[in-house]
Amino acid sequence: MLAGSVAEPLLGSAAAAPPPDADLAYLRLLIGAELLAADFYTQAVAAKRFQGAPLTYLKRALFNEVEHYQALSGILSGAGQTPATPDDFDFSYPKGSFAAKASIAKLGVTLETVVLGAYLGAADGLQTDSLGQPVARIAASEAQHLSLFTWMSGGDPIGISFPNALSIDEGSTTTQARRPGHSGSASTRSAAGIARAGSRRSVTRATAGSWRPKRSSGCAVSLAPSIR
């Protein structure tokens, strides 16, 4: 358990009363988003394109994503579910994503816009009242990350008054999925997707980054900007 962090109220509520299936679906979506975000920050730091304060901010954001992931995973574990882990997926990104400061910042804006939208949608859609407030706290953290990348991209770090939220339906609309060993491309029409495919994870390749499953499980998450 992460003492003094958002993990305590999340884990406490899960132990008192396991969330309903609809809330578990939201949590799986958010866990998938955190896995991708943490991998993105790991790659961004490893690329060694930033120094000084920007590098410190990237490392802090990575720390945030790890805490978010651990907190949300604790809920699923408390409900008798097995949360996804980084070892479950192969992450991939568009060519050149980490080649320069500008490309990293641009990808960061895209990714964090989607992650923030997923959290805002969850904060509104969760049926378990005790989860709404801590999820909103994570959304505030993601908003800071988005502000950082907007600033790195040369934009205004103070954005719109009401950031867009993604509903669970919007997050679940996946068109074509790519399975291990399956040839051909895949796409999604949603900004953040959670796809169920029986006993197998099905995951889309996407502009913002994607992952491919390594093992079987009950559901999968893909995170991407809209692709038409």
**Domains with residue ranges and CATH for the chain:** 7-169 (1.20.1260.10)
Q: Token pair of 225, please?
A: 């900007």
Contact between 121 and 166 under an 8 Å Cβ cutoff? The reply is yes
The confidence band for 75, taking pLDDT boundaries of 50, 70 and 90, is confident
Q: Is the confidence at residue 130, as pLDDT, over 50?
A: yes
Q: Is the confidence at residue 192, as pLDDT, over 50?
A: no
- Measured CA distances, 152 to 100, 149, 176, 207 (Å): 12, 5, 33, 20
SS3 221: strand
Residue burial 54-91, b: 16+ Cβ < 10 Å; e: rest: beebbeebbebbbbbbbbbbbbbebbebebbeeebbeb
Tell me, what amino acid is at 136? A
The chain-wide mean pLDDT, for the chain, equals 75
pTM, full prediction = 0.76
- pLDDT for the residue numbered 202: 32
Q: What is the Cα–Cα distance from 152 to 147, expressed in whole angstroms?
A: 9
Q: Half-sphere exposure of 74 toward its Cβ, with a 13 Å CA cutoff?
A: 22
Q: Give the whole-number percent of the chain exceeding pLDDT 70.
A: 67
- What digits encode the pLDDT tens for the residues 82-110? 999 998 878 889 999 999 999 999 999 99
Q: In this predicted structure, which of 3-7, 98-102, 178-182, 212-216 has the lowest mean pLDDT?
A: 178-182
Contact between 212 and 203 under an 8 Å Cβ cutoff? The reply is yes
- Measured CA distances, 192 to 48, 101, 127, 185 (Å): 28, 25, 20, 18
- What digits encode the pLDDT tens for the residues 134-173? 899 999 999 999 999 999 999 999 999 999 998 776 654 4
- pLDDT for the residue numbered 227: 26
Kind plus residue range of the DSSP H or E element containing 195? strand 192-195
Q: Is 179 exposed, middle or buried (0-12, 13-18, 19+ CB in 10 A)?
A: middle
- What digits encode the pLDDT tens for the residues 62-74? 999 999 999 999 9
